[in-house]
Each structure stands twice: as structure tokens, then as C-alpha cells.
Amino acid sequence: MKGGFYGLRGRELSLITIVLMCTAFLFWAWEKTPPLTNLTPPETRLRLSPDDLVSKPVASLLSPKSKGVSSFAEKVIEQVAAPLISSQKSTERSVIKSNPVNTTDRNVEILASLSEEEAKGKQIQEPQTYVGAQGPTIRTEVEGNHNKMIEQVSEQLEVDMVAQVTIENRDCNYAKGKWVPDDNRPLYSGFGCKQWLSGMWACRLMQRTDFAYEKLRWQPKNCQMEEFEGSKFLRKMQGKTLAFVGDSLGRQQFQSLMCMITGGEERHDVIDAGKEYGLVQARGDTRPSGWVYRFLSTNTTILYYWSASLCDVEPIDKSNPNTDYAMHLDRPPAFLRQYLHKFDVLVLNTGHHWNRGKLKANKWVMHVGGVQNTDRKLAMIWVAKNLTIHSVVNWVNSQLPKHPGLKAFYRTISPRHFVGGDWNTGGSCDNTIPMSVGKEVLQDESSDESAASAVKGTGIKLLDITALSHLRDEGHISRFSRTANPGVQDCLHWCLPGVPDTWNEILFAQI
Ligand SMILES: *[C@@H]1O[C@H](CO)[C@@H](O)[C@H](O)[C@H]1NC(C)=O
Ligand SMILES: *[C@@H]1O[C@H](CO)[C@@H](O)[C@H](O)[C@H]1NC(C)=O
Ligand SMILES: *[C@@H]1O[C@H](CO)[C@@H](O)[C@H](O)[C@H]1NC(C)=O
């Protein structure tokens, strides 16, 4: 998110200072000893491998795709760091004399990601640095200092680059990692978060007596996950709006996030902004179709809209109270079409309403292209669901150019853990011991193929929580459900605090 990397400011400043000092020094050094600058004895060889530092991070940091880097940092790197690194690189090139790599090629690689004008500027700016490296190996005091300084700067740069990349976690797959016990969990109290957390999901308010499931933290394998803090989240989301649109599992994630931001404490500076989104409880409704809360301190809005199928549903005969509903598989929910422009972060999900029973109970009739579906293949639930996921993802993707600031996520399916039956046929999930089924996710691919294939090649990110949640069979509401009929277990929804908190930690890390 632009302007969101507040933590970088100090580092950026020190980077600029060092880089400016060094650039000045380099020019001075070239003036003084023009033929020596390209000669670096092997013993003072830079620790930077061109592949590690020059090609990858710089090229990727400079690439127009790297939206995550603050524009400020981009400028610094473009204007100051890149030429410096280029000169370091050519210095190194001269060290490894037998290295067959074509410097010009590498340079082209780096410049390829710059605009034409910028690239021209670069070439004019530093012509000597690419001149040949041949010449007698003479070592002078000046050169030694020069090299030492380059070494220091390169180290600093390396640190900065690594920090940048770590914070950005560009290549990080948060879905891969392991669960670890952590006494600093949970992030809020299931007793305390009454303002936002429904009693039906607060297992602390039920008969349940084991709470080991609250004390786990997800540790991604190859990346640092910034510790979630409510104040940090609000600062990051200053003046912004985050929307969850999906089924009840999306609502769980929404309530979890509200509890996480507030630490489960009561807040009086949060207003209900439902009216702005037409979300008011109509007379006779058991509940509104969504909730909108705004933190006045930072003008941050968090909302949830209930769209179980994630497609447009409208009554076929508005005047008939017993009407069926057209479920337009290839049309995004009206709410999304109407309000997308107001969102800065969007988290979509669907999944558990895609079965014959739910369709029938909701009186949903599949429609495609505006007319009732007659394609028998498409009528298969999983095919219809796949079509809807692809449609909604494609539609949001098509809107991204109009809303360049929007970060859109599709959250993969939340796994169920019914054993010995389904939700309505005596299925249960009685395990209370965390990580009994394992604690690690090693696979690279998402377990939710439909979601993964839908986002592929789009600007929508996957919030991939399926496999990691699959390891948490002990975290469901289980037999303690207050709303289920006697004997019926809830092995679908999660106790809160609990697993959906982790989804939000990963979301926070990806924003
Ligand atoms: C280096 O690459 C450039 C551009 O691709 C090419 O024009 C030049 O001939 C190459 N030089 C060598 C020594 O391969
Ligand atoms: C709050 O943020 C919204 C965008 O989410 C913006 O339209 C509005 O002007 C802001 N209000 C204030 C008082 O800053
Ligand atoms: C899901 O739908 C997309 C788009 O309609 C299609 O390309 C893909 O093959 C489908 N996936 C499966 C598993 O049917």
C-alpha cells in the first residue's frame, strides 16, 4: 500500500545519506585516479554477488510491477542507488576477469525496467563506469580506501535491500510454514470482545473447557511475518476501507479482525457507518446483510457484506413473496458493483453454500448470461462454483485499472472437519489436542485449485489459508455450538479467538 511502509523512513534516510556520500566520494576518486577505479584486487572483492544484489533486487525493485515499494524508496533507488550499484557491479566485473558475462547485457537488464528517458539519463550519467577493465594492477592508498568504502556501502546496501525485500516479502508464500505454540496468543480475549464477537462463536462463553487451540501462532517458512498490532494496522489503513464480502466464514474473519484491532477492548470511538452502504436492518429481518464500522481516530472503515454465493442473486418475481431467486453465476454481487470504488482492500470468499441442500433452501436457480441455465454440465455444483469464482475474480481484475489503489484478495476455502458423517448426519470433530494431524505445510501449491486457477494471471492475490487451517481440526466450535440442534456439531465455523485470526495476520502481512 502506497505510503504504508512507515517503518522504512529511517532506513531510507540513512540509505540516501550513505549513498550520496559515497557517490560524491566515487566521483572524487575517479577524478583523482581515473584508471584505478576499475581495478579491484581479489582480496577486496565485494561481497555482493551481482546476481544477489544487482540483477534481482534492483531490477525487481525498479520494475513497474513493484507497487509495494513506496514511491519514495523507488525514487531513491532509481536516482541514486542504481548508478552506484551499477558502478559497483562493473568494479566487480573487472575483478573477475575471466567472467564471461557481458556487462552491457546486465546493464540492459537493469535498465530494461526503466522508462526510455530514464534509461538514457543513466547512460549519459555514468559512461566511464562501463569502460574496459584492462590495465596494470596497481594498488594505492586511495584505491584501498575507496574499496573499503565501497565495501561498507555495499554492506549497508545489502542490509537495506534485504530489509526491503524482507518487509515486502515479495517471494514469500505465507501458506507454507508451521504452527508453533505461543504464549502471546490469543491476540484478544474471547470473554472481552463482546462488542464485535457474536456469542455463537465465542467458545469462551460456551461449555468448552480446553483452550490450547488459542495458543498457536502460524510461522511462515521463508518470511518474517510482522507481529499484528491494532495501532499499526489502523495507521497502515489510515483513511482507508477494508471490505470482506462472502459467507459466514468471511463474517468470522471480519469479527476476528475487529477484535484484533481493538485487542478485544471496548471502543467508543467506532461508529456504525452502515447507512453509507445501504446496510440497515429492515423491519422483520433477523439481521442486516452486513456491518460497517469506522474507527474515527484514523478514519479507517472495516465492513462485511454477506454474499454467500459471491454472485448476483435477485428475485425472479419481485411481487411474489415466495419467489425463486436468480443466481447469476457470471455476474458479481450488486453490492460489489455498486461500492467497489470505495474499497482499498477487498477480501472475497465463498464455498460452503455450494450444495444442493443450500441452493434448494435458498430457492436459488442458476442463471448464466441472464437466462436460466440449461447446460447439464454447468449444473454440477462444483462446475457452477468454479465458474462463479472465475467470474467474480475476472470482474474485479477488469476493474483494477480504474482503481489502481485497490488491493484485492480471494480467500481460499476454509476446510471442514466432520468425521464419521456430515454436518447433518452426525459428523463430529472432538479432537482437542492441537496439531494431532501435523503442524507443517510444505506444499507450494494451494489446496484450493479453483481459487488458485482463478487468480492466476490476474492482479487478485490469493489469501491462501486452506492447508494451514486444515491442520487445525481442534479449533472448531464442535459440540459446543449454541445454535445447532442437539447432537449436531459445528465442524465448519471456528472458535474465536482462533484460526481466522491467523488469516488476518497473513492478510495484514500482505497489505
Ligand atoms: C555485449 O552485448 C551487447 C548487447 O547485447 C553486444 O552488442 C556486444 O557485442 C556484446 N559484447 C560482447 C563482448 O559479447
Ligand atoms: C475518510 O476516508 C474516506 C475514504 O475512506 C474519505 O472519503 C473521507 O473524506 C475521509 N474523511 C475524513 C474526515 O478525513
Ligand atoms: C474453472 O473455470 C474456468 C473458467 O471458466 C476454466 O478455465 C477451468 O478449466 C475450470 N476449472 C475446472 C477444474 O473445471
CB atoms within 10 A of CB 67: 15
For 315, residues 6+ apart whose C-beta sits below 8 A from its C-beta are: 323, 324, 325, 326
Confidence of residue 228 (pLDDT cuts 50, 70, 90): very high
Residue 78 C-alpha from the chain's centroid: 25
- Same domain? For 205 and 188 the reply is yes
pLDDT for residue 38 is more than 50: no
Q: Is the CB of 374 under 6 A from ligand 1?
A: no
Q: How far is residue 396's CA from residue 410's CA, in Å, rounded to a whole number?
A: 10
Statement to judge: residues 295 and 382 lie in one domain:
yes
Q: What is the pLDDT of residue 283?
A: 74
Q: Which residue has the least CA distance to atom 2 on ligand 2? A: 239
Confidence of residue 127 (pLDDT cuts 50, 70, 90): very low
The answer to whether residue 333 sits within a structural domain is yes
What is the domain count for the chain? Answer: 3
Q: Is the dihedral of CA 116, 118, 119, 123 positive or negative?
A: positive
Residue 231 Cβ < 6 Å to ligand 2: no
Ligand 3 center from residue 242 Cα (angstroms): 29
166 assigned to some structural domain:
no
Regarding whether 445 and 489 lie in a shared domain, the answer is: yes
Nearest to 501 by CA among 173, 237, 184: 184
In a domain, 383, yes or no: yes
100 shares its domain with 180: no
Q: Atom 3 of ligand 2 has which residue's CA nearest to it?
A: 239
Of ligand 2's listed atoms, the one at least distance from the Cα of 301 is 5
**Least confident span in 98-112, 183-197, 288-302:** 98-112
Rounded mean pLDDT of 129-148?
46
State whether the beta carbon of 105 lies less than 6 angstroms from ligand 1: yes
State the Cα–Cα distance between residues 197 and 210, nearest whole angstrom: 19
Residue minimizing CA distance to atom 5 of ligand 1: 105
- Do 422 and 289 reside in the same domain of the chain? yes
Render pLDDT for 70-101 as a digit per residue (tens, 0 to 9).
444 444 444 444 444 444 444 333 333 333 34
Average pLDDT over residues 396-422: 96
Amino acid 148: pLDDT: 60
Each residue's pLDDT tens digit, 309-318 = 999 999 999 9
Residues 26 and 98 in one domain: no
Q: Determine, yes or no, domain membership for 43.
A: yes
What's the 508 CA to ligand 2 centre distance in angstroms?
A: 21
Q: Nearest CA to 219 among 439, 410, 433, 416?
A: 439
Beta carbons within 10 angstroms of residue 10's beta carbon: 9
Lowest mean pLDDT among 53-67, 164-178, 360-374, 455-469: 53-67
Cell of 181: 505454540
Within 13 Å and on the Cβ side, how many CA atoms surround 301?
20
* Cα 347 to ligand 2 centre (Å): 20
pLDDT at 455: 98
Residue ending a domain, choose from 140, 161, 182:
161
Q: Identify the residue whose C-alpha is closest to ligand 2 atom 8.
A: 239
Contacts of 265 (CB under 8 A, 6+ apart): 192
Are 122 and 250 members of one domain?
A: no
Provide the mean pLDDT of the chain.
79
- Residues 362, 368, 373, CA angle at the centre, nearest 5°? 70
Higher pLDDT, 45 or 320: 320
Quick check: CB of 425 below 6 Å from ligand 1? no
pLDDT at 195 over 50: yes
Would strands 300-306 and 241-246 be described as parallel, antiparallel, or unpaired? parallel
Both 357 and 497 in a single domain?
yes
Ligand 2: which residue has its CA nearest to atom 7?
A: 239
Which pLDDT score is estimated for 205?
A: 96
- Residue 296: nearest ligand to its CA? 2
- φ, ψ for residue 25, nearest 5 deg: -60, -40
391 in contact with ligand 3, CB cutoff 6 A: no
Q: What is the mean pLDDT of the segment spanning 113-117? A: 35
Q: Comparing C-alpha atoms, which of 355, 364, 284 is closest to residue 324?
A: 364
- Residue where a domain stops, chosen among 130, 161, 192: 161
Flag whether pLDDT at 110 surpasses 60: no
**Ligand 2 within 6 A of 239 CB?**
yes
Phi-psi group of 121: left, alpha or beta (phi > 0 → left; psi -120 to 50 → alpha; rest → beta): alpha
Minimal-distance CA residue to ligand 2 atom 12: 299
The lowest-confidence range among 96-100, 240-244, 247-251 is 96-100
The minimum-distance atom of ligand 2 relative to the CA of 239 is 2
Specify whether the CB–CB gap between 224 and 218 falls below 8 A. no
Does residue 355 have its Cβ closer than 6 Å to ligand 1?
no
Q: Is the CB of 300 under 6 A from ligand 2?
A: no
64 shares a domain with 205 = no
Q: Which of 106-115, 240-249, 484-493 has the highest mean pLDDT?
A: 240-249
Burial letters 246-282, b for 16+ CB under 10 A, else e: bbbbbbbbbbbbbbbbbebeebeebeebbeebebeee
Whether residue 229 lies inside any domain: the answer is yes
> From the CA of 241, how far away is ligand 2's center (Å)?
9
Q: What's the grid cell of residue 322?
A: 415466495
Atom of ligand 3 nearest to the CA of 383: 14
Please report, to the nearest 10 degrees, the dihedral formed by the alpha carbons of residues 330, 334, 339, 343 taken in order: -40
pLDDT(230) > 90: yes
Taking the centre of ligand 2 as the mean of its atom positions, its distance from the CA of residue 289, in whole angstroms, is 23
pLDDT over threshold 60, residue 355: yes
Cβ-based neighbours of 145, under 8 Å, separated by 6 or more: none
Q: Where are the alpha helices (DSSP H) in 33-140?
A: 59-62, 71-76, 82-95, 103-111, 116-125
3-state SS class at 277: helix
Q: Which of 90, 97, 105, 109 to mutate to test the pocket of ligand 1 (most atoms within 8 A of CB)?
A: 105
Q: Say which residue, 61 or 254, is predicted with more confidence.
A: 254
Longest CA–CA span in the chain (Å) reads 93
Domain that holds residue 348: 172-510
Residues 128 and 202 in one domain: no
> Is the distance from the beta carbon of residue 299 to the nearest atom of ligand 2 less than 6 Å?
yes
Give the three cell numbers for residue 222: 521463508
Higher local confidence (pLDDT), 171 or 288: 288
Locate the ligand 3 atom nearest the alpha carbon of residue 382 and give its number. Answer: 14
Over residues 415-452, the pLDDT tens digits come to 999 999 988 888 999 999 999 999 999 999 999 999 99
Q: Is the pLDDT of residue 33 over 60?
A: no
d(CA 93, CA 80): 20
CB 188 within 8 Å of CB 259: yes
Is 471 a member of any domain?
yes
In a domain? residue 384? yes
Scanning 112-222, the segments in alpha helix (DSSP H) are: 116-125, 141-168
Q: Considering only 27-31, 195-199, 323-327, which range has the smallest mean pLDDT? A: 27-31
Give the pLDDT of residue 97. Answer: 36
Percent of the residues in the chain that have a pLDDT greater than 90, as a whole number: 61
Q: 102 CB less than 6 Å from ligand 1? A: yes
Give the distance (Å) from ligand 2 centre to CA of residue 470: 39
- The predicted pLDDT at position 300 comes to 98
Find out whether the beta carbon of 386 lies less than 6 Å from any atom of ligand 3: yes
H-helix segments, 343-436: 356-362, 381-399
Is residue 368's pLDDT more than 80?
Answer: yes
Where a domain ends, among 122, 140, 161?
Answer: 161
What are the cell numbers at 270? 467506532
- DSSP state string for 453-471: HHHTTSSPEEE--HHHHHT
Residues 86 and 193 in one domain: no
Kindly state whether residues 247 and 309 are assigned to the same domain.
yes
Name the residue of 381, 388, 390 whose CB sits within 8 Å of the most ligand 3 atoms, as the mutation to test its pocket.
390
Q: Which ligand is nearest to the CA of 105?
A: 1
What is the predicted pLDDT for the residue at 285?
76
Q: Which ligand is nearest to the CA of 104?
A: 1
Whether residue 167 lies inside any domain: the answer is no
